[in-house]
């Protein structure tokens, strides 16, 4: 918790206030450059994600000052969402809807929920015909239409607007008809034109996760069939050794490149298999979650760097994303092994932070694997201190069953929001 508070101090140093509210610079270092500095509103790297972090921090500490940080950020989002052209979950308007909805619920302010409804209405209005169905980007992955569908499902439940679920299901039906859902060919920067990505954020596993969620929501077999096709493909291309498994970053060219993190590696793919387990009760899917978890532990991470786990700490592709997985596994299974490894990850994150100068904690990392000399520290959720701080808070909550509290989890996180195993609560 102390590390998360110190991360909050550094994020506060990046605050920019104006008549619209508050947003945060991507990197407040003097002359510092940010990994992602063009998304002041986004869930990935901007105000939406930081609002969620401050809401989590307020719940963990009981300090209302952090609610003021969140309120100022939500004001900014409510004032600026109409300027957002991108409709996606991580980088666009759907993520803003998630943040405004949480802020409205926690802060009890109708103006934020009203802004969330208006923004969600715009997303619905932005749907257009795609391949016999509806969509927004044509991309079935979580980085495209898949993430938008997840966000609309969350909004339908929390805001009480059934129309959001209705259009989400129509868009999901188109995705469910794909032979192997989630494939992307030829438009991922840095990948060969015929590359196929089985990972979570921009690949098959994330889309299969979405279809499993839709099956759990509706009981309709076509969603389950699509999810199982995706999961089957992921299993087929994975490397299995004993009770461990790892997933290639892309095939056929990248079979030896095994990311461990959330975006394209084991931590994200494990979410898909756990969602399938939740939806079906099939222990075989949980077995694959645990195979992927063992693959991470046997890799030597976080202390050993590899081609798929390099000098990176963030939620997207680093140790914080692994921490979210193992906190979730602890909550889901109650296995001490996972809590112990989560503690290893949390201790590593705290140890590698910079905070000795009294300005607060931040994490310098090489966000882009192919540019190892390009090191920066960011404030955002998926890419920087807000997400790392949130992961540490979630671990803190998991270790305090007598003070169980609700964590704020993104729509793509299938694990318990109160991260305490049933036997411990």
Candidates 77, 153, 166, 144; CA nearest to 116 is 77
CA triple 50-140-371, angle to 5 deg: 55
CA distance 138 to 165: 19
pLDDT of residue 376: 93
Check residues 261 and 369 and name the one with the higher pLDDT.
261
pLDDT of 184: 55
Is the Cβ–Cβ distance between 228 and 205 less than 8 Å?
no
| pLDDT tens profile 378-391 | 999 999 999 999 99
Quote the CA–CA distance of 393 and 402 in Å, as a whole number.
15
Average pLDDT, the chain: 94
pLDDT value of residue 284: 98
**In the chain, % of residues over pLDDT 90:** 86
Query: Does the structure show a pLDDT above 90 at 33?
Result: no
Radius of gyration of the chain (CA): 20
Q: Is the pLDDT of residue 246 over 50?
A: yes
The angle subtended at Cα 417 by Cα 84 and Cα 164, nearest 5°, is 40
Q: Look at residue 213 and tell me whether its pLDDT is greater than 70.
A: yes
- Tokens, residue 106: 């926690």
> What pLDDT is stored for residue 185 in this prediction?
44
pLDDT band at 36 (very low <50, low <70, confident <90, very high): confident
Name every residue whose Cβ is closer than 8 Å to that of residue 34 and which is 6 or more positions away in sequence: 25, 26, 27, 45, 376, 378
Write down the pLDDT at residue 188.
Answer: 64
Element (H, E) at 135: strand 133-135
**Residue 135 β-bridge partners:** 128
Q: What is the mean pLDDT of residues 360-369?
A: 94
pLDDT of residue 187: 57
How many other CB atoms are there within 10 angstroms of residue 123's CB atom? 23
Q: What does the pLDDT read at residue 183?
A: 57
Beta-carbon contacts of residue 254 (< 8 Å; ≥ 6 apart)? 195, 248
Has residue 298 got a pLDDT over 60?
yes
Residues 337 and 349: beta-carbon distance below 8 Å: no
Q: 393 or 401: which carries more pLDDT confidence?
A: 393
CA distances from 177 to 42, 51, 64 (A): 30, 36, 48
pLDDT at 373 over 60: yes
For 373, other C-beta atoms within 10 Å of its C-beta total 5
Across the range 361-365, mean pLDDT stands at: 97
Going by C-alpha positions, the residue among 214, 121, 235, 129 that lies closest to residue 411 is 214
pLDDT digits (tens, 9 = 90+) for 252-265: 888 999 999 999 99
- Percent of the chain clearing pLDDT 70 (strictly above): 97
b or e along 60-91 (b: 16 or more beta carbons within 10 Å of the residue's beta carbon)? beeeeebbebbbbbbbbbbebbeebebbbbbb
Where residue 360 falls (left for φ over 0; alpha for ψ -120 to 50; beta otherwise) is left
Q: What is the pLDDT of residues 113-166, one digit of tens each?
A: 999 999 999 999 999 998 889 999 989 999 999 999 999 999 999 999 999 999
What's the rounded Cα separation, in Å, for the pair 144 and 24? Answer: 25
* Residue range 180-196, pLDDT digits in tens: 765 554 456 677 777 88
């Amino acid at each position: 918790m102390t590390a998360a508070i110190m991360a909050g101090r550094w994020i506060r140093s990046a605050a920019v206030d104006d008549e619209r509210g508050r947003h945060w610079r991507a990197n407040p270092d003097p002359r510092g450059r940010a990994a992602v500095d063009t998304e002041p509103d986004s869930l990935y790297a901007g105000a939406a994600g930081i609002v969620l972090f401050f809401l989590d921090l307020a719940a963990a500490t009981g300090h209302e000052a952090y609610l003021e940080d969140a309120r100022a950020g939500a004001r900014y989002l409510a004032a600026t969402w109409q300027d957002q052209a991108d409709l996606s979950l991580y980088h666009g308007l759907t993520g803003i809807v998630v943040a405004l909805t949480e802020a409205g619920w926690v802060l009890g302010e109708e103006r934020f929920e009203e802004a969330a409804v208006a923004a969600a209405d715009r997303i619905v209005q932005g749907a257009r015909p795609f391949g016999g169905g509806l969509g927004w980007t044509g991309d079935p992955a979580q980085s495209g239409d898949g993430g938008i569908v997840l966000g609309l499902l969350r909004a339908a439940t929390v805001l009480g607007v059934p129309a959001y679920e209705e259009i989400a299901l129509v868009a999901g039906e188109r995705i469910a008809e794909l032979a192997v859902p989630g494939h992307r060919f030829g438009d991922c920067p840095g990948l060969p034109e015929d590359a196929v990505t089985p990972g979570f954020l921009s690949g098959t596993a994330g889309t299969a996760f979405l279809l499993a969620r839709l099956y759990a929501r509706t009981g309709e077999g076509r969603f389950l069939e699509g999810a199982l096709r995706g999961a089957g493909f992921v299993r087929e291309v994975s490397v299995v050794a004993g009770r461990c498994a790892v997933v290639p970053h892309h095939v056929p060219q990248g079979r030896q490149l095994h990311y461990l993190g959330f975006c394209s590696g084991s931590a994200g793919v494990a979410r898909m298999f756990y969602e399938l387990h939740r939806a079906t009760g099939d222990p075989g899917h949980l077995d694959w979650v645990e195979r992927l978890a063992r693959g991470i532990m046997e890799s030597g991470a976080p202390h050993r760097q590899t081609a798929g786990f390099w000098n990176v700490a963030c939620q997207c592709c680093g140790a914080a994303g692994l921490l979210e997985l193992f906190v979730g596994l602890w909550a889901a299974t109650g296995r001490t092994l996972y809590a112990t490894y989560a503690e290893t990850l949390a201790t590593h994150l705290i140890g590698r932070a910079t905070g000795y100068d009294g300005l607060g904690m931040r994490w310098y990392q090489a966000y882009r694997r192919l540019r190892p000399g390009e090191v920066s520290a960011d404030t955002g959720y998926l890419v920087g201190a807000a997400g790392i701080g949130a992961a540490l808070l979630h671990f803190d909550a998991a270790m305090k069953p007598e003070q169980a509290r609700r964590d704020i989890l993104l729509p793509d996180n299938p694990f318990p929001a109160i991260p305490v195993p049933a036997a411990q609560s």
